[in-house]
């Protein structure tokens, strides 16, 4: 006689293992890009500007969307954005994290 209970358990177990792996792959593919390429608006104070190198150092409060605590951080920026910015300026800015690098995409006094 065939034990259908055991066969059923094997098939159900296989089904869930198979789909759990698929779900994990989908979540990994979706979750990683969400953490990178995020944008957030913040305000802070300019500490240093190196337009030639395309870098600006900003002291700012916590930016939760980028998972940054309050800190002073060097951001990459298009040199054109930095033309009128100088140390000591209070600024509003939009920053993003992409490929592990932080970049200012907009900045204004």
Digit-coded pLDDT (tens) for 49-90: 999 999 999 999 999 999 999 999 999 999 999 999 999 999
Residue 26, pLDDT above cutoff 60:
no
The model's confidence at residue 100, banded by pLDDT at 50, 70 and 90, is confident
| Percentage of the chain lying above the pLDDT 90 cut | 61
Residue 33, pLDDT above cutoff 50:
no
Kindly report the pTM of this predicted structure: 0.67
Helix (H) or strand (E) holding 48: strand 38-50
Specify the pLDDT at position 99.
Answer: 82
Which CATH architecture group holds 38-108?
Beta Barrel (2.40)
2 SS3 class: coil
Contacts of 77 (CB under 8 A, 6+ apart): 54, 55, 56, 103, 104, 107
**Cα-based angle 57, 60, 62 (whole degrees, multiple of 5):** 135
């Amino acid at each position: 006689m065939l034990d259908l209970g055991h066969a059923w358990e094997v098939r159900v177990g296989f089904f869930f293992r198979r789909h759990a792996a698929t779900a994990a792959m989908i979540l990994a593919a979706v979750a990683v890009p969400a953490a990178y390429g995020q944008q957030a608006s913040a305000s802070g104070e300019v500490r240093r500007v190196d337009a030639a190198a395309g870098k600006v150092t900003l002291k700012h409060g916590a930016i939760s969307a980028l998972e940054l605590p309050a800190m002073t951080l060097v951001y990459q920026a298009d040199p054109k954005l930095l033309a009128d910015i100088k140390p000591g300026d209070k600024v509003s800015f939009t920053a993003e994290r992409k490929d592990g690098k932080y970049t200012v995409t907009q900045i204004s006094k």
